[in-house]
Structure 1
Amino acid sequence: MNIKACIRSLRLRTLPLSMAGIVAGLAISLSYGSLDTAVVITLITTTALLQILTNLSNELGDTLKGTDTAERQGIRYSLQDGEISIPQMKGLIATAALLCCISGLAMIHFSFGTLFATEPLLLIVLGAAAIWAAMRYTLGKNPYGYNAKGDISVFIFFGLVSVAGSAYVCTHSFSPLWLLPAAAIGCWSVAVLNVNNIRDMKSDAATRVTIAMKLGVRRARIYQTLLICIGWLLLLTYSLLNVRPMAWVLCFMLTIPLFVIHLKGVWTREDKALDPMLPLLVMASFATALIMLVGAWAGLEL
């Protein structure tokens, strides 16, 4: 098997997006006390593996359904170039799914000390749902990513579950206010998917339906702007309700220019020229979450 081709299919540039929710969740958790190292390590590992499982499954699903063609505007991947066979990709997906299960169970055990109690069992069910969602985005007879339902799944798992779920695993508690930063990260995660769909709108038209296709280019750009702005409104509302306002507002302003540059690119670029806007938004989201974590670690009250 071509190792370089396998690494390319992992799409490692997407990992900071899934990490943004975890980092935000850890920032929330720090206000409840110190973090358990084993829980944090397995939490990060499980999240990274779920992202990789999603990426591999998406590549296989898009290849089988004829979506990844020469006309596709994004980065070319290994199946598309014939560097990995379909059986090999299925083996990689099975391995990633198994590792997700092992890492997830270890995370729950380190957090609760058992797998056989109400909370651990509920988290196991949630983890199974996350694995199902990762694989069924483009795989199966009726993948939801081909029926304009991907935005909902991304919002739930990359936002609500990632932020509030990781904070719960670390603290064994929950506050409704956590849903504000969770929804903010969810909006930005959906925005990453949306700009990807705007870029691929022409090549996707023959095989799938996305929210961007339903909206059209102009309204999809408006949708993108709303996702970014609503995310910021939610995060700043959370900050004003929970921390020393001026300290957090000034810190968050450090990443606002990245979001502005991203939106300018979305409104002025088309097709393949949009591709750099994806990693820019991913890194802007991660950087904002990292500021939350640094501020919490420095002793600012969340």
Structure 2
Amino acid sequence: MEQFVKQRQSHAWLLAARPRTLPLACASILLGTGLAANAQAFNPAVLLLALLTAIALQILSNLANDYGDAATGADDHARIGPVRAVSSGLLSPGAMRKGMVITAIAAALFGLLLLLTAFGNQWGHILTFLLLGAASLLAAVTYTVGLGGTPYGYRGLGDIAVFLFFGLLGVIGTYYLHTQQLSGLPFLPAVSCGLLATAVLNVNNVRDIESDARNGKITLAVRLGRANAIRYHWSLLGLALLLTLIYLVVLPAPLAGWGCLLVAKPLIDAARALNRTHDGATLTGMLKKTAISTLLYSVLLSIGLALF
């Protein structure tokens, strides 16, 4: 019996951590590293610690999302997405809060080790990135939990946060950790990465648009309405691919770098499904396809740049 309880708890924590979302959290780190390698600057310790920090932050965000949606009543019996640990009773709110604290501490420790490894005793750089790290922790928690008010994810601001943290800050921050310099050209793929990550969120929000609206979770998709949210989705994909194309031409990138454009077809296939169906299971599959394509975009472009 005791073994069964332990297995049930382990399954609940794995469910709450949502491991399928973790590869997407690594996309910006991998792309920033590829950009740095292209600039002849690569530190494997920085890559490892940056990945651990990003994974810890994503798990924290997932735990907070599980807790926050249960606390605000945004999860109900009609919800399409994966089962949530707190709302289903697998974990208590108190246990989830403890899990969030432990994960936040782990993310902070990984982040501090990352900064010390990248910058040594350059305290100005460390302080700047500590502030960015604190902002990342705060954003991860307050997406659905909120601090003294409505969570920003319920006010249509989640897209902006994803674009910043999974795009500009994630990619350019990683690039700077390796190179300790800024360059204008890497901002193009950084923006593209952020736009694709935002597209992943938008598929999720279009899928859940009816239940979110019913439960007062006013995502950007709810604000726009389904038809405009789909147009918005096409704009995200189109701009991301256009900026990537400009980057590849201006660099100029090696032939291997152009392989990242292979993700255009699965991204377009998933976007077309938004027009064709309201079926939750189908859209969940398209959500996975969009997320995997975003990760592959970063991996393929990173490899191509590292080989240059």
The reply to whether residue 35 of structure 1 matches residue 81 of structure 2 is: no
1:129 aligns with one of 135, 144, 147:
135
Task: Give the Cα separation in 1 of the matches to 2:160 and 2:306.
Answer: 32
Task: Give the Cα separation in 2 of the matches to 1:31 and 1:225.
Answer: 30
Task: Give the Cα separation in 2 of the matches to 1:16 and 1:103.
Answer: 18
What is residue 285 of structure 1 aligned with on the other side?
294
What is residue 60 of structure 2 aligned with on the other side?
53
Task: Give the Cα separation in 1 of the matches to 2:123 and 2:260.
Answer: 39
2:37 and 2:306 in contact (8 A); partners too: yes
Task: Give the Cα separation in 2 of the matches to 1:246 and 1:45.
Answer: 31
2:155 and 2:217 in contact (8 A); partners too: yes
- Equivalenced residues, count: 297
The reply to whether residue 105 of structure 1 matches residue 89 of structure 2 is: no
What is residue 161 of structure 1 aligned with on the other side?
169
Q: TM-score, normalised by structure 2?
A: 0.93
Task: Give the Cα separation in 2 of the matches to 1:245 and 1:43.
Answer: 26
Task: Give the Cα separation in 2 of the matches to 1:77 and 1:176.
Answer: 41
Structure 2 residue ranges without an equivalent (≥5): 1-5
Q: TM-score, normalised by structure 1?
A: 0.95
1:73 aligns with one of 75, 80, 85:
80
Task: Give the Cα separation in 2 of the matches to 1:79 and 1:260.
Answer: 35
Comparing 176-185 and 62-71, the one that deviates more: 176-185
- Name the amino acid aligned to 1:233: L
Quick one: higher RCO (CA 8 Å, sep 6+), 1 or 2?
Answer: 1
Task: Give the Cα separation in 1 of the matches to 2:173 and 2:135.
Answer: 13
1:230 aligns with one of 219, 226, 239:
239
Q: Secondary structure at the match of 1:79?
A: coil
Comparing 30-39 and 63-72, the one that deviates more: 30-39
The reply to whether residue 215 of structure 1 matches residue 224 of structure 2 is: yes
1:183 aligns with one of 186, 191, 211:
191
- Name the amino acid aligned to 1:134: A
2:92 aligns with one of 85, 90, 115:
85
Deviation at 1:252, TM superposition (A): 2.6
Task: Give the Cα separation in 1 of the matches to 2:189 and 2:43.
Answer: 22
Task: Give 4+ residue runs of structure 1 displaced > 4 Å after superposition.
Answer: none
2:254 and 2:304 in contact (8 A); partners too: no
1:197 aligns with one of 205, 213, 220:
205
1:65 and 1:207 in contact (8 A); partners too: no
Deviation at 1:44, TM superposition (A): 0.6
Over residues 124-168 of structure 1, what are the superposed CA-to-partner deviations in whole Å (9 max), with x where a residue is unaligned?
A: 000000000010101123211111111111111111001000000
- Name the amino acid aligned to 1:274: L
Task: Give the Cα separation in 2 of the matches to 1:43 and 1:189.
Answer: 18
Task: Give the Cα separation in 1 of the matches to 2:266 and 2:173.
Answer: 27
Q: Secondary structure at the match of 2:201?
A: helix
- Name the amino acid aligned to 1:125: L
Q: Identity rate of aligned residues, in percent?
A: 33
What is residue 271 of structure 2 aligned with on the other side?
263
What is residue 253 of structure 1 aligned with on the other side?
261
Q: Secondary structure at the match of 2:185?
A: helix
Q: 1:110 to 1:245 in 2, by over 3 A?
A: closer
Deviation at 1:269, TM superposition (A): 2.0
Aligned pairs for 1:113-124 (under 5 A) are 113-114=120-121, 117-124=123-130
Task: Give the Cα separation in 2 of the matches to 1:181 and 1:271.
Answer: 33
Structure 1 residue ranges without an equivalent (≥5): none
Task: Give the Cα separation in 2 of the matches to 1:198 and 1:80.
Answer: 22
2:166 and 2:193 in contact (8 A); partners too: yes
- Name the amino acid aligned to 2:196: W
1:73 and 1:271 in contact (8 A); partners too: no
Comparing 276-285 and 101-110, the one that deviates more: 276-285
Task: Give the Cα separation in 1 of the matches to 2:52 and 2:88.
Answer: 29
What is residue 151 of structure 1 aligned with on the other side?
159
RMSD across aligned C-alpha pairs, in angstroms? Answer: 1.4
